[in-house]
Amino acid sequence: MKKKEQHTTGRLKKKDVRAFLIDLFAGQPGEVFTLKDLFNIIRAKNHPTKMLVVDVIDEMLEAEFLWQPSRGVYALNPDSIEDGEEDESFIGKRYVGRLEVERNYAFLNVTDRRLGRDIFIPKASLKGALNGQKAVVEIVDWPSPAKNPIGRVVDILGDSGDNTAEMHAILAEYGLPYEYPAAVTKAAERIDPGITREEIARREDFRDVLTFTIDPKDAKDFDDALSVRRLKDDLWEVGVHIADVSHYVREGDIIDREAQHRATSVYLVDRTIPMLPEHLCNFVCSLRPGEEKLCFSAIFTLDAEAKIVRWHLAHTVIRSDRRFTYEEVQPVIDKRQETTDSRELTEALRTLWHLADKLRTRRFKSGAIGFDRPEVRFEIDEKGTPLRTYIVESNESHWLIEEFMLLANRSVAESVAKCHIGTSDAIPAKGNPKVMPYRIHDVPDPEKMENLRAFTARFGYKLKTEGTKTEVSRSLNKLLADVKGKKEEALVEMVALRCMQKARYSIHNIGHYGLMFQHYTHFTSPIRRYPDTMVHRLLTHYLDGGRSVSATKYENLCEHSSEMEQLAAQAERASIKYKQVEFMGARIGEEFEGTISGVTEFGLYVECDDNHCEGLVPIRDLEGDYYEFDEKNFCLIGRRQHHRLALGDKLVIRVARANLEKRQLDYAFVRKLKSEQ
């Protein structure tokens, strides 16, 4: 047999040898080779090069890629051929990672740990990519004897460490789009934002009713507004006005197909990847102050206790008088100051909060569960570098908006379920409910709830896991209230959240356990959620006398929307973790005070008190003693000196390692704070 020789010049590297041997053995699965054969084929003439070949061969034996039919003879492991046949399922899949480019080939170091190995890329399939760049690679082949799949570069994201490249890599990792198709953008830009007299005549006119938006200070897409006016001394009309996206985006057009595919906007640390093109979400549909806008609105008449006297759905035209931020509204609600605009706006905000407070109190009395977890935010510079971190917590200004959105979503869902679409008729009509996407949330898993009960009992808490849904949810709320401010708060909340099912979309209405609503949908955010757009279209269709639509079609759309929502949430968390690692990576060697937020058999999770960045103190790095994990008491205990490091303890830690590729942050233990000893 004529042996294939390694035609390279210069000093060989380990990766060169590995790639060549993979190709050699995989290409000739029935052949055997001695070390002398391999030395000759690779042209390893000096001792260092021969030792390099031996090292690679040893690694291949350990990985069971090779085997020794007899002493000193090497061949492809037959088992690896059989195993490789299963790898065909990976063909066509895409992975993201960092490229290591050599002269004649490259490897993609993948981010996704599930693949478990790098992807080999021939030079002809590099698409001009350079060493160190982030790229999207598609697996095109996985020859059955080979351990590494073969891929081709699909897209080059940019240099590793570049902020946009890294954010796009996170999106690509979760299969989310990071660019907008030019044809869709152009189609959106052709949409005329003008409103004709004929269109206004077909709608209820709210342009002269006091109306405003309340949003985060950095928001650009205002998809909901509130109007309020007094009808009588004890009656108020509150309009929940939602951007009428479906007026501009027609079902099946190029914009709609792209929105349906995306299903949701994605909110990363430093950017929003919108579901709709910017021209639509930030301009045409956005309820910007001083501009006439088309809406789909739920108009409520409420008494002083925020009970619905009557309500109806209507296509409307509005003109927002003011754009508020949450930060502006909160001191007005607190009565610490008035708005800078008018006494009328001040009174309107306080009236709406009074009504929202009634709605919120009644909701929690009915058993709604209160998971109010703070959100980590970053202040970043123009290059995307994190300058500081901070926490945003919900307060009354957020709850004001939340309660009226919940009221609209619940009322719309109930009217469909009871066959009196868009009205306040309390008596269910005859016939079957028409098809509609609901937002559903199933009851917690009983086994997980029992585990939560046993877990919290260690801290002295009691939890009711049997009885009615309301009784169980009230007991859970009491638990969450009791742990507030305690050192075990974060851990108990995390375990409790894991007991909950994930909320999702479905045409099969089972109610929403977390909100304790029998009927609930998503109607209030069509700019950023596709299910809301579906709901708008179906409501309009049914109000016009249309027949029920295909259940199969809409259940499939619900499933897709649920999946995309979960992927978007995962990408958001990944971007937060990346920025935390980047932020602390610039502070290697610096010391911080922190709190033990988790204890495991492999170390301590510590969250810094001032910047909320969580990292791991590996148990192997704890010096001065041999620490063992006490699972029952959530602590590590030194075997010799009996030092105890427990959940909630205050520590001083030092930033030891920050791996941006893996999004991992390691701390070194400095000392336990004296006040906690």
Task: Look at residue 676 in the predicted model and tell me its pLDDT.
Answer: 42
Mean of pLDDT values over 489-503: 84
Instruction: Tell me the per-residue pLDDT of 224-272, one tens digit each, with 9 for 90 and over.
Output: 999 999 998 889 999 999 999 999 999 999 999 999 999 999 999 999 9
* pLDDT score at 88: 62
645-657 mean pLDDT: 92
Lowest mean pLDDT: which of 68-72, 554-558, 630-634, 644-648? 68-72
> Measured between alpha carbons, how far is residue 671 from residues 141, 619, 626 in Å?
52, 14, 16
Q: Which residue has the tokens 């979400």?
A: 281
pLDDT digits 0-9 by tens, 141-184: 887 766 788 999 999 999 999 999 999 999 999 999 999 999 99
What percent of the chain lies above the pLDDT cut of 70? Answer: 94
pLDDT given for residue 269 in this prediction = 93
CB-based contacts of 345, cutoff 8 Å, min separation 6 = 210, 212, 321, 322, 339
- 16: DSSP letter: H
Say which range, 425-434, 610-619, 657-666, has the weakest mean pLDDT. Answer: 425-434
Strand order in the sheet with 322-325: 204-205, 308-319, 292-303, 235-243, 224-232, 211-215, 322-325
C-alpha distances in Å from residue 468, one per residue of 368, 376, 513, 519: 13, 35, 12, 18
Is residue 4 over pLDDT 70?
A: no
The tokens describing 82, both together, are 């059989």
SS3 call for 574: helix
Determine the 3-state secondary structure of 229 from DSSP: strand
Q: What is the mean pLDDT of residues 433-449?
A: 92
For the residues 581-588, what does the mean pLDDT come to?
A: 96
Which of 495-501's residues contact partners 24+ apart within 8 Å by CB, and which partners? 495/451, 495/452, 495/455, 495/456, 496/371, 496/452, 497/371, 498/448, 499/444, 499/445, 499/448, 499/449, 499/451, 499/452, 500/369, 500/441, 500/444, 501/441, 501/442, 501/443, 501/444, 501/445
CA distance 237 to 229: 5
DSSP string, 120-186: EEEGGGSTT--TTEEEEEEEEE--TT-SS-EEEEEEEEEETT-HHHHHHHHHHHTT---S--HHHHH
655, pLDDT greater than 90: yes
Q: Which of 128-137, 318-327, 489-498 has the lowest mean pLDDT?
A: 489-498
Pairwise CA distance, residues 251 & 258, whole Å: 11
Q: Is residue 84 scored above 60 in pLDDT?
A: no
- Distance separating the N- and C-terminal Cα atoms of the chain: 74
- Quick check: 82 pLDDT over 50? no
- Of the ranges 113-117, 327-331, 478-482, which one carries the lowest mean pLDDT score? 113-117
Q: Which two structure tokens, joined as six digits, stand for 27?
A: 């290409």
Tell me: the pLDDT tens digits for 511-534?
Answer: 999 999 999 999 999 999 999 999
